[in-house]
Amino acid sequence: MLGNQSLKETPLEDMIILAQQGDHMIQNYLLKNYQPFIARCVSEVCKRYIDPQIDDEFSIGLNAFNEAIMSYSEEKGSSFLTFSRLVVKRKVIDYIRYVQKTPMAMSLDESHDEEQMENPIEILAVKESYRKEQSARFLREEINDFKEKLKTYKLSLVQLTDVSPKHKDARETAIAVARTLFNNPDLRNYVRKKKKLPLKDLAKMVNVSKKTLERNRKFILAIFIIIEGDYTYLKEYLKGVG
């Protein structure tokens, strides 16, 4: 068993492996020492200060961080902190969505019931406005994550605007190629490690010329990133890309 000083000198990914192997002391150490990190992740979603002692969202984030510890693998193609950040934020987003779907809490004081229900249309309008605001916020969060991931492939949103296929058929073909790429473990790992397309091997698996694959390389990589990532909103937009 490692002492606190030894733990501080142990690489994070090594501690993750030990925790996955059943070392509860290291698991608890990670859950305790990374609480500030968890709070920051949750705060980025909620857009406010998060108090670990009070806010339910922090408890959701803490549980999500623990899930990330137990499910992380270096084969996922990102560092643990990058992976856990996405897991925490997604779980908190799911929690907020769940809360939003529950009926609006009404006062138990009957003297206020009529006042609160006086204009139900206005109440619905306010709830819908809030829902749209939250959705827009979550989409911005996903886009920011996506932009950071693009940087690791030496890509940018500006580049994608210029290189995206103009014709619907070409876009649909490129998306299909990206899905083929992701669904093949060997090709998927190649892209994660090399940050580029395995053009020769990929051309053997799809009915697309190597020249066309090269021309649409950046767009295919971008779609691969979206498919691989935990991007709920971007994947919805992807349905209309074709």
Task: Give me the residue label for tokens 């769940």.
Answer: 98
Q: Distance (Å, rounded) from C-alpha 228 to C-alpha 92?
A: 20
Task: Give me the residue label for tokens 């694959």.
Answer: 213
3-state SS class at 228: helix
pTM for the model stands at 0.55
How many Cα atoms within 13 Å fall on the side-chain side of residue 28?
A: 6
Q: Which segments of the chain does DSSP mark as H helices, in order?
A: 4-9, 12-20, 24-33, 35-46, 56-71, 80-101, 113-116, 120-152, 157-163, 168-183, 185-194, 199-205, 210-215, 217-228, 232-238
Task: Please state which of the ranges 99-108, 127-136, 219-228 shows the lowest mean pLDDT.
Answer: 99-108
More confident call, 5 vs 182: 182
Contacts with 47 (C-beta within 8 Å, 6 or more apart), sequence order:
137
More confident call, 48 vs 141: 48
Average pLDDT over residues 41-47: 89
pLDDT for res 120: 63
Backbone angles phi, psi at 206, to 5 degrees: -125, 155
Kindly tell me if the per-residue pLDDT of 54 is higher than 70: yes
pLDDT for res 234: 81
Give percent of the chain with pLDDT exceeding 90.
40
The correct CATH number of 1-104 out of 3.40.50.300, 1.10.357.10, 1.10.1740.10, 3.40.50.620 is 1.10.1740.10
Q: Are 25 and 1 in contact (CB under 8 A)?
A: yes
Q: Distance (Å, rounded) from C-alpha 115 to C-alpha 217?
A: 59
Average pLDDT over residues 78-94: 88
- pLDDT tens for residues 157-199? 998 888 888 888 999 999 999 999 999 999 998 998 899 999 9
More confident call, 149 vs 74: 149
Q: Distance (Å, rounded) from C-alpha 242 to C-alpha 237?
A: 10
Residue 117, token pair as written in the block: 């229900």
pLDDT for res 220: 95
Where in the chain is CATH 1.10.1740.10?
Answer: 1-104
pLDDT for res 142: 81
Question: Could you tell me the CA-to-CA distances from 156 to 47, 159, 232 in Å, in that order?
Answer: 26, 5, 20
pLDDT for res 140: 80
Mean pLDDT of the chain: 82
Contacts with 78 (C-beta within 8 Å, 6 or more apart), sequence order:
none
pLDDT for res 110: 38
- pLDDT tens for residues 192-241? 889 999 999 999 999 999 999 999 999 999 999 998 876 777 877 666 55
